[in-house]
Amino acid sequence: MSAELEQLKNDMKRLKITEAAAVVEERLLEAQVKEPSYQVFLMNLVQHEIKKREEKQLGRLYKLAAFPEYKPLDDFDLSEQQSLSKKQLKQLQELIWLEQAYNLILLGPPGVGKTCLSIGLGIEAISRGYRVTFVQMDELIRLLKTEEISRNSRAKVKRMVGSDLVIIDDLMFMAIDRHEANLFFQLINKLYGQTSIIITSNKGPEDWGDILGDPAITTAILDRLIHKSEVIHLSGDSYRLKHRQTIFGNN
């Protein structure tokens, strides 16, 4: 490598153009053969830098979202879920509801695709530059209860409050006491009006009072969640049971 090229790469790194610096030697060798114009050469180099930065940013957003698995909307099988039409799924995918800070409440028995749909919408949101956080209800309560004493919990809750979309999975999976319900209300109150929320639950809002334990807190939570929301009822048999794997095959 010539001294001039070495200096060029070092200067590019000092300017934080690190992705282009990594390929500039290769691109210069290609240019000697293809002889592009100076403008085309620079444009290709800059586009490479932009593409790599966008890929890294998406990677960071996916990592921070903390999805339990990667399930894009293409994995959501509408033939298995007759209660949601192709048109409705397309409307959800357009994310107009997210731009308008609407909430989605996905209801239905276990295994009908509530979590899969919520993750798919979260992935779609990240692909468009939105900040997303996925959390299961039991983990959320643990974070809220330890926020004051744990730096890690505090950072995760802060990230959640700063998200454009928060997905709370299995809202009614566990009963919570009054203190926990109050902490949950405080979070919902912080998110209200600025962050869209997707909630998955196997019980409708009319039954949430039994789990949250306090009618007043339940009413306050519902007031904020349902003010601008779409309630989607998913039905059918459990996909996991229908397509379960067995050690005995089909015999």
Helix, strand, or coil (residue 100): coil
Domains and CATH numbers, the chain: 3-65 (no CATH), 73-241 (3.40.50.300)
Q: How confident is the model at residue 237 (pLDDT cuts 50, 70, 90)?
A: low
Report CA-CA distances (Å) from 144 to 93, 163, 183, 230. 30, 16, 6, 26
CA trace torsion 8, 9, 10, 13 (10° rounding): 120
For the chain, give percent helix, strand, coil, nearest 5.
60, 10, 30
pLDDT in tens, 127-156: 999 999 999 999 999 999 999 999 999 999
pLDDT confidence of residue 244: 47
Furthest-apart CA atoms within the chain: distance in Å: 75
pLDDT score for 160:
95
Q: Any residues with CB less than 8 A from the CB of 88 and at least 6 apart, and which?
A: 232
CA–CA separation, 98 vs 13, rounded Å? 37
Q: What is the pLDDT of residues 187-229, one digit of tens each?
A: 999 999 899 999 999 887 777 777 776 778 888 888 888 888 8
What are the two backbone dihedrals, phi and then psi, of residue 166, each rounded to the nearest 5 degrees?
Answer: -120, 125
> What is the mean predicted confidence (pLDDT) over 224-240?
76
For residues 104-132, give the mean pLDDT: 92
Q: Are 168 and 199 a contacting pair, CB within 8 Å?
A: yes
Total Cβ atoms within 10 A of residue 121: 26
Say which range, 29-43, 152-166, 171-185, 222-236, has the weakest mean pLDDT. Answer: 171-185
**Measured distance CA(25)–CA(14) in Å, rounded:** 17
Q: Using CB atoms within 10 Å of the CB of residue 79, give its burial: 0 to 12 exposed, 13 to 18 middle, 19+ buried.
A: exposed
pLDDT at position 109 is 86
Residue 43's pLDDT band, with cuts at 50, 70 and 90, is very high
Instruction: Supply φ then ψ for residue 233, to 5 degrees.
Output: -95, 115
Average predicted confidence (pLDDT) for the chain:
86
**Mean predicted confidence (pLDDT) in 75-80:** 77
Q: Which residue has the higher pLDDT, 77 or 134?
A: 134
Pairwise CA distance, residues 174 & 190, whole Å = 22
* Token couple for 93: 């995918």
| pLDDT at residue 243 tops 50 | no
Confidence of residue 118 (pLDDT cuts 50, 70, 90): very high
- The fraction of the chain above a pLDDT of 70, given in percent, is 90
Q: What is the mean pLDDT of residues 16-38?
A: 89
Q: How high is the pLDDT of residue 241?
A: 38
Cα gap 213→207, rounded to integer Å: 10
Neighbours of 44 (CB within 10 A): 16
- Render pLDDT for 163-173 as a digit per residue (tens, 0 to 9): 999 999 988 66
pLDDT at 94 over 90: yes
Distance CA 188, CA 22 (A): 45
CB 143 within 8 A of CB 180: no
pLDDT reading at 158 higher than 80: yes
pLDDT for residue 143:
95
What's the whole-model pTM score?
0.79
pLDDT surpasses 50 at 98: yes
Instruction: Give the three-class secondary structure for 156.
Output: helix
